[in-house]
Chains A and B, each alone.
Chain A
Amino acid sequence: MLAYLVRRVLYAIPILIGVNLLTFVLFFVVNSPDDMARMQIGVKRATPEAIERWKVERGYDKPMFINDAAEGSARFTDTVFFDKSLRMFALEFGRADDGRDIGQEIRDRMGPSLAIALPTFVLSLFASISFALLLVFFRATALDFWGVVLCVAMMSISSLFYIIGGQWLVSKLWALVPISGYAPGLDAARFLVLPVLISVLAGIGSSARWYRTIFLEEISKDYVRTARAKGLSELAVLFRHVLRNALIPILTGVVVVIPLLFMGSLLVESFFAIPGLGSYTIDAINAQDFAVVRAMVFIGSVLYIIGLILTDISYTLADPRVRLE
């Protein structure tokens, strides 16, 4: 198992290099730093001096890959590619356009992001699986039919409408919780209730339907018939047999997103003004702060790879037949 994990971690390195190269090409080769400077400063005010100053401030004035002016290893380290791309492997992300350290900002904002993403994740997993089991328990009845109709209808509504509608109904009309904002500590709860509930509601349609399909596929197998023939109650069949055997496909889709919870949710955080990583990303996108977007891309891919490895480990926990070798 350990050897397998080491191999997986090693395998992650070329993927991260690929991500790194891809983002570098996207950010520096498709458009030269001059183009970006011109857009940031504004086409009308972009004098050559202003562009040069912009580049020096951000360290984009160095050569791309090889610095002929430098000596020794600095030939390769004193370049845009090394500074902006390779340093990310050491988790050094540099500074954002407003001069703040991106790494520090990320550490500060992870907390609020998690505070909203973790409860959302747990609650929606619980809610969708319960709802799916309910539908499966009453399969081929009117309840099942209308449940699926409800799921399809709910997944046809854009998440924007859930958020806008929820804010309007709960915060404005009923005035139960503040519309948006955040407070540290326990005080955060009253700001978090609504976004968490809305996110759970927005996701329940598609995931409950997906789990229902998985359960139905499982329930038509022979071992389920055997379990019923033994005289087990339908509930026992569902919870002790079907649910456990359906875990593998469920884990495949679920575990991989756990590390990504750190990244927060773009939409929810920006609508509810939660100072997490999601709203940080959105602000960076709107301000066209390329350094932040690049850092978030890198962190996102690292977390994704961690998620893949966790998925493999979770298989061994869920199914003793799976061994990692």
Chain B
Amino acid sequence: MSAPMSFQPVLLWTDALLFVLIVLGLLAGLHVRNQPPLREAWRKVGKRPTGMAAATLLLAFLLVGVLDSLHYRPLLPAVAAAAVGGGAGPEAAGRAADEGGAPGSEATPPASASAAGAAAGSAGTAPTEGSSAAVYSTEVLSALDALLASLRAQTEKTYSAPFAWTLYQREAMELPDGRQVRDYPRLAHGAAHLEAPGEARAADVAARLLQAAGQALLWWWGAFVLLTTLVWRGSGLGWGEVAGAMLSGRTVLAWRAALITLGVLMLIVAACLQLAPYYHVLGTDKVGQDVLYLALKSVRTALVIGTLTTLVMMPFAVALGIAAGYLGGWVDDAVQYMYTVLNAIPGVLLIAAAVLMMQVVIDTNPQWFDTAAERSDARLLALCFILGITSWTGLARLLRGETLKLRELEYVQAARAFGVKTPAILRRHILPNLMHIVMIALVMDFSGLVLAEAVLSYVGIGVDPTTISFGTMINMARAELAREPMVWWSLAAAFVFMFVLVLAANLFADVVRDAFDPRR
């Protein structure tokens, strides 16, 4: 084989669907551009400062999620590949014991540091022959992992507080003169660059924060100039005038709110970029992983659950809702029967039953999955489907009701009188007038689903335990509050990230509903 690629792209199912969703979103955007009423409704969203601020935040989360969806398998160095057949790396084995289960791709140390350990961590599918063919790690990484490589690699032994320079627990250490002492050992990475962190840390952090502020200001200025130029083009006003309007909030769309949000975001990102290589900004968890890294990885899981669930249930809800409302008769009876039955089962129990059963299917068919990442991805996707099946009933009922109303309107009756075929009526007259309900459902459901994921993962019927998500983070952290001294940082990180994401989604959903709901 000639010059193997340094990585092998991996397209997980949820990645593919997420990209489908994004393409659909772009197509819908093009469609909106050509439809004056729709454009007007979205303009209403943009006029509200909360709408713009929330949209900015959501876009930032989406960026993290998309970066985390570009998966690949890194190339293993030839020597390391040959050694895979041997024993598992001690590091990987130790961490597996800590995790109390099969270690997923995330729990193993990075391939660059100990490729053999990484490959051995996931169920040995790597070839044992040291052949000349390119061998890719069974560990699936994402573009986000590559960007955060240092964050991923800088693991400690166990808990450490944010900005700490010592571990959370005392350990027996041997001094150079041979005496044994029990003390807090220095961290391998956190504040390791300082000689005497006790005195120097505050000044160091302050200096880096100052640097970060400067950097953020520079970025923000760039963004401001870019945005102003975009707004200015074709406005017929002077650039300075437009810039002044942007800053004082006199533009049609609430650009100022977006710019303020962007500024705060950039400040936080810059601060993290400056500090994260030298400190554990949000501390480390039980197995010593950086909590900031875990929190960022959780964003993708939340986005996948929040959006794909609606995506997979939408076709059912739309088709069945319209069919029941428009065709009536036995179709209506059948659809109503279906959703009454599904509604009758308490949601959590239906989900629990379905997840338990699906887990059996996944466990009995290990041959379907090449890597641990694919297996946990299958469970994530299945969870989306299960949540979708239990949640389509609400949307279907709304659509049925609206269709019942629409089919009696004059223009639909006229179309029928002219002999337009039923499929054409549905497509041309009914469906477009239902899209606002679908749209509202999509954004309204998002926050509820993100919250549901955390609860379900806590109950043990959510995502795979090796998938990093807010639910698994909380689940691991819940016993930590009882420790003395308290380990609060993983819980706090999960709380803040989730709160910001859900709050932004809730605010955005409100603005979208106000703009699209004709009753308001």
Min CB distance B490 to A, Å, is 12
Q: Which of B346, B364, B498 has the most CB of A within 10 A?
A: B346
Specify which chain B residues have a CB less than 8 angstroms from the CB of A18 in the assembled complex. Answer: 337, 340-341, 344
Specify which chain A residues have a CB less than 8 angstroms from the CB of B499 in the assembled complex. Answer: 156-157
Report the Cα distance A22→B344, complex, angstroms: 11
| A31 on the B face (CB < 8 A) | yes
| B506 on the A face (CB < 8 A) | yes
| B345 on the A face (CB < 8 A) | yes
B356–A293 CB distance below 8 A: yes
The answer, among B350, B447, B503, for a CB contact under 8 Å with A297, is: B350
**Interface set, chain A 138-184, CB cutoff 8 A to B:** 152-153, 155-161, 164, 167-168, 172
| B266 on the A face (CB < 8 A) | no
Number of A-B contacts defined by CB within 8 Å: 125
Report the Cα distance A116→B260, complex, angstroms: 45
A152–B507 CB distance below 8 A: yes
Min CB distance B7 to A, Å, is 33
Please give me the residue from chain B that is nearest to A30 by CB atom.
B357
Report the Cα distance A18→B361, complex, angstroms: 23
Which residues of A are interface residues toward B (Cβ below 8 A)? 14-16, 18-19, 22-23, 26-27, 30-31, 35-36, 38-39, 43, 152-153, 155-161, 164, 167-168, 172, 260, 263, 266-267, 270, 281-282, 285-286, 288, 290, 293-294, 296-297, 300-301, 304-305
**Interface set, chain B 476-496, CB cutoff 8 A to A:** 478, 481-482, 491, 495
B353–A297 CB distance below 8 A: yes
Report the Cα distance A120→B178, complex, angstroms: 62
Specify which chain B residues have a CB less than 8 angstroms from the CB of A27 in the assembled complex. Answer: 353, 357
Report the Cα distance A118→B178, complex, angstroms: 65
| B163 on the A face (CB < 8 A) | no
Overall SS of chain B's interface = helix
| B395 on the A face (CB < 8 A) | no
Which residues of B are interface residues toward A (Cβ below 8 A)? 337, 340-346, 348-350, 352-354, 356-357, 359-361, 363-364, 447, 451, 454-455, 458-461, 470, 474, 478, 481-482, 491, 495, 498-499, 502-503, 506-507, 510
The 3 closest A-B pairs by CB, nearest first: A18-B341, A300-B346, A301-B344
Report the Cα distance A291→B306, complex, angstroms: 31
Overall SS of chain A's interface = helix
A288–B350 CB distance below 8 A: no
A35–B506 CB distance below 8 A: no
| Other 4 A-B pairs with CB < 8 A, given A35-B364, A304-B346 | A16-B344, A31-B364, A39-B364, A301-B346
A159–B506 CB distance below 8 A: no
Specify which chain B residues have a CB less than 8 angstroms from the CB of A285 in the assembled complex. Answer: 352, 356, 459-461
Report the Cα distance A155→B352, complex, angstroms: 24
Report the Cα distance A153→B507, complex, angstroms: 9
Min CB distance B463 to A, Å, is 15
Min CB distance B354 to A, Å, is 6
Q: Which of B340, B499, B507 has the most CB of A within 10 A?
A: B340
Please give me the residue from chain B that is nearest to A40 by CB atom.
B360
The answer, among B337, B340, B474, for a CB contact under 8 Å with A160, is: B474
Min CB distance B346 to A, Å, is 4
Given A161-B495, A293-B356: A152 in contact with B510 (beta carbons within 8 A) = yes
Min CB distance A292 to B, Å, is 10
The answer, among A156, A157, A304, for a CB contact under 8 Å with B343, is: A304
Min CB distance A248 to B, Å, is 16
The 25 listed contacts between A and B (C-beta, < 8 Å) are A14-B337, A19-B341, A19-B345, A22-B341, A22-B345, A23-B353, A26-B353, A27-B353, A43-B363, A158-B454, A158-B498, A160-B455, A160-B478, A164-B474, A164-B478, A168-B481, A263-B346, A266-B459, A267-B455, A282-B460, A285-B352, A285-B459, A286-B460, A297-B346, A301-B344
Please give me the residue from chain A that is nearest to B365 by CB atom.
A35
The answer, among B344, B354, B459, B460, for a CB contact under 8 Å with A19, is: B344
Report the Cα distance A300→B390, complex, angstroms: 15
Specify which chain A residues have a CB less than 8 angstroms from the CB of B350 in the assembled complex. Answer: 297
The answer, among B354, B356, B458, for a CB contact under 8 Å with A290, is: B356
Min CB distance A13 to B, Å, is 12
Specify which chain B residues have a CB less than 8 angstroms from the CB of A164 in the assembled complex. Answer: 474, 478, 481, 491
Specify which chain A residues have a CB less than 8 angstroms from the CB of B495 in the assembled complex. Answer: 157-158, 161
Specify which chain B residues have a CB less than 8 angstroms from the CB of A155 in the assembled complex. Answer: 506
A15–B344 CB distance below 8 A: yes
B481–A26 CB distance below 8 A: no
The answer, among B363, B459, B491, for a CB contact under 8 Å with A282, is: B459
Specify which chain A residues have a CB less than 8 angstroms from the CB of B343 in the assembled complex. Answer: 304
Specify which chain B residues have a CB less than 8 angstroms from the CB of A286 in the assembled complex. Answer: 460
Min CB distance B410 to A, Å, is 27
Report the Cα distance A167→B353, complex, angstroms: 30
Specify which chain B residues have a CB less than 8 angstroms from the CB of A266 in the assembled complex. Answer: 348, 459
Report the Cα distance A260→B349, complex, angstroms: 12
Given A18-B337, A153-B503, A156-B499: A26 in contact with B460 (beta carbons within 8 A) = no
B354–A15 CB distance below 8 A: no
Specify which chain A residues have a CB less than 8 angstroms from the CB of B507 in the assembled complex. Answer: 152
A156–B503 CB distance below 8 A: yes
A15–B341 CB distance below 8 A: yes
Please give me the residue from chain A that is nearest to B451 by CB atom.
A158
Specify which chain A residues have a CB less than 8 angstroms from the CB of B455 in the assembled complex. Answer: 158-160, 267
Report the Cα distance A18→B342, complex, angstroms: 9
Report the Cα distance A238→B103, complex, angstroms: 59
Min CB distance A149 to B, Å, is 9
Specify which chain B residues have a CB less than 8 angstroms from the CB of A19 in the assembled complex. Answer: 341, 344-345
Please give me the residue from chain A that is nearest to B364 by CB atom.
A35
B481–A172 CB distance below 8 A: yes
Min CB distance A172 to B, Å, is 7
Report the Cα distance A305→B346, complex, angstroms: 11
Please give me the residue from chain B that is nearest to A305 by CB atom.
B344
B481–A260 CB distance below 8 A: no
B340–A156 CB distance below 8 A: no
A281–B349 CB distance below 8 A: yes
Report the Cα distance A155→B498, complex, angstroms: 12
B344–A293 CB distance below 8 A: no
Please give me the residue from chain A that is nearest to B363 by CB atom.
A39
Report the Cα distance A105→B383, complex, angstroms: 30
